[in-house]
Chain A
Amino acid sequence: MSTVLPAAPVRPAERGVQSPFRRIASDFVANPVAVFGLCLLALIVAAALFAPLISPQNPYDLAQLDVMDSKLPPGSKSPSGGTFWLGTDDQGRDMLSAIFYGLRISLMVGATSTVLALVIGLTMGLTAAYFGGRIETLIMRIVDIQLSFPAILIALILIAVLGQGTGKVITALVTIQWAYYARTVRSAALVEKRKEYMEAARCLALSPARIVFRHLLPNCLPPMIVVATVQVAAAIALEATLSFLGLGLPITEPSLGLLIANGYQYLLSGKYWISFFPGVALLLTIVSINLVADQLRDVLNPRLQR
């Protein structure tokens, strides 16, 4: 959240002037649904971070698994005295533990690819906006062509070409996402570029790097934060889809999508829990991120600022 802080000098002590961060925070909590989303997201992230501590069992440790426990319905007693609250899968893994560990992988892939794409997109977009000319035409033409194809198609092409694996999925997600950031930051930067403070910075003969990073970038951040939030959710959903299609992460690192795919074959025989609960976890993650993003969009929109 601290990235929301614009670099403009603001003295909170001054009477009547509210710091932008406090304003954004207080606007954000005005919507109870968004606060609910944020709390839910915090819980999910905590569950993913502390998965080894809170999981009833380590789903990767074969010594703890027993095939006799496989495909038990939710609420069954485990031989060690515990309860499989969400049932077990075909290998006798506790679904709850598998979901916690799966969340870890899904969130990790989503966050990593978003950060990488954000950095690349920001650099490309700012370069295009600041320097203009041929560089801008070239970058924006690539962005235009790329954005005219749906993400899933580009992802499948890349996976078909690159092969499978965690690193390759992240590469595919980054390749898809940078274009969104490049386009957003460029349009924001083009507006900012014409403002007086940019002219003042140029008159001071500051280096282009300093102008771009200290003056231009902070003022282009608000729309980027909104896009980044939405894109984390999109990345998680896309990774899950690829894994479901069997083209994503390897089986040794079961993300939520892979857990869902795993249960697909048992669905028709009525063993719904193997697919159902990982799906609920995925859904809650995406919904909570989208709720936060929705409110951030309103709060950070300069046109709605009071």
Chain B
Amino acid sequence: MLVYIIRRSMQSVVVLFVMSLLVFIGVYAIGNPIDILINPQADQIDRERAVAALGLDKPLWEQYFVFLKGALTGDLGRSFVHATSALGLILERMPATMELAIAAMLIAVVLGIPLGLWAGLKPNGFAGRSIMAGSILGFSLPTFWVGLMLIMVFSVMLGWLPSNGRGPTTLLFGVVPVSFLSWEGLQHLIMPATNLALFKLALLIRLTRAGTRESLLQDYVKFARAKGLSNARVIGVHVLRNILIPIVTVIGLEFGSVIAFAIVTESVFAWPGMGKLLIDSINLLDRPVIVSYLLVIVTLFILINLVVDVLYSALDPRVRLTDSKG
């Protein structure tokens, strides 16, 4: 187990290094940020001074070397636009994204598992069929468009919920600013979180339904019924427990994708998270922020995948962690 974790971590470092190199070269190749950042009326001397201040006068390999040296000490460079630490900028936005992602995941789990269970127990009933039809819709609806429609209905037509921003934030544990502790913040949170949850909700419904249908045919369920156990106990203990293993895995893995998809939701609802920052930075060619965002999110993903793998082996004793060969 320990060997596995060490080997995985070493692999991850290689992935991170290759990623940073590719992204650095790639971002370098797409146009000159100076054209966007500097006043077009600036003279040549001002221009050269700005280029030198951002370190853009050096050759690419030297820029990368400077970046790498900084990265090892936790400094991923300074944002061209905001003139502050790029990593700090991202970490500052991270709580907003995390809050949104966790809220979305909660909605998906709290609604998805019971609905999937219901659809799995009564696959041919009206409710079961409607739930499945709904989940196909959930897969098909483009996230950003649903967000627009939510704004149209609940903000413009009904005027119940605010259409953008995070609302007032309160400090959780004195450090993390969050929205959900105040009523107004909660009102701001509910629409983006629902929007982000839809896709995962559909996924969880399908997964739970498939698992339920499969385990209902297993011998241990038949045996539990033969013993005369109550329906609630058979489903709650024997069925649910066994389908939880794949569900927990998927929830873990999907959490990363929720953070990535938050980019879209954040743009629709002007939610001040990391994703919105990325889109703004791509448009402004703010290279250090783009590179830092990608490094942060790739690290996050590697961590999530590792935790899920370890959890999986803890939940299911049949799984042995080995470095698979292809």
Tell me the complex Cα distance, A279–B136, Å. Answer: 17
- State whether the Cβ of B208 lies closer than 8 Å to any Cβ in chain A: no
Min C-beta distance of A231 to chain B, whole Å: 13
Contacts of A161 in B (CB 8 A): 22-23, 26-27, 29-30
Min C-beta distance of A102 to chain B, whole Å: 13
Please classify the interface of chain B as helix (H, G, I), strand (E, B), loop, or mixed, using the class held by over half of its residues: helix
- State whether the Cβ of A156 lies closer than 8 Å to any Cβ in chain B: yes
- State whether the Cβ of A294 lies closer than 8 Å to any Cβ in chain B: yes
- State whether the Cβ of B64 lies closer than 8 Å to any Cβ in chain A: no
The reply to whether B22 and A247 form a contact with Cβ atoms under 8 Å apart is no
Known: A148-B301, A156-B282, A245-B264. A264 touches B141 (CB 8 A): no
- State whether the Cβ of A82 lies closer than 8 Å to any Cβ in chain B: no
The reply to whether B145 and A294 form a contact with Cβ atoms under 8 Å apart is no
The reply to whether A160 and B26 form a contact with Cβ atoms under 8 Å apart is yes
Known: A152-B264, A159-B282, A268-B156. A283 touches B31 (CB 8 A): no
The reply to whether B136 and A294 form a contact with Cβ atoms under 8 Å apart is yes
The reply to whether B267 and A279 form a contact with Cβ atoms under 8 Å apart is no
Known: A149-B301, A268-B156, A283-B141. A245 touches B148 (CB 8 A): no
Tell me the complex Cα distance, A282–B140, Å. Answer: 9
- State whether the Cβ of B212 lies closer than 8 Å to any Cβ in chain A: no
Interface size on A, residues (CB 8 A): 43
Min C-beta distance of B13 to chain A, whole Å: 14
Interface size on B, residues (CB 8 A): 44
- State whether the Cβ of A127 lies closer than 8 Å to any Cβ in chain B: no
The reply to whether B263 and A152 form a contact with Cβ atoms under 8 Å apart is yes
Q: A233 is contacted by which of B29, B140, B263, B268 (Cβ under 8 Å)?
A: B140
What 20 new A-B contacts, CB under 8 Å, besides A145-B15, A245-B264? Answer: A137-B325, A137-B326, A140-B326, A148-B301, A149-B256, A149-B301, A152-B261, A152-B263, A152-B264, A161-B22, A161-B23, A161-B26, A161-B29, A162-B26, A244-B144, A246-B279, A246-B283, A257-B142, A275-B145, A276-B149
Interface residues of A (CB under 8 A from B): 136-137, 140-141, 145, 148-150, 152-153, 156-157, 159-163, 233, 237, 240-241, 244-247, 257, 260, 263-264, 267-268, 270, 272, 275-276, 279, 282-283, 286-287, 290-291, 294
Can you list 21 pairs linking A and B with CB atoms under 8 Å apart?
A: A148-B305, A153-B263, A153-B297, A160-B26, A160-B27, A161-B29, A163-B31, A237-B142, A244-B145, A245-B264, A246-B283, A257-B142, A264-B148, A267-B148, A272-B152, A275-B152, A279-B149, A290-B136, A290-B139, A290-B140, A291-B136
Interface residues of B (CB under 8 A from A): 15, 22-23, 26-27, 29-31, 136-137, 139-145, 148-149, 151-152, 155-156, 163, 256-257, 260-261, 263-264, 267-268, 278-279, 282-283, 290, 294, 297-298, 301, 305, 325-326
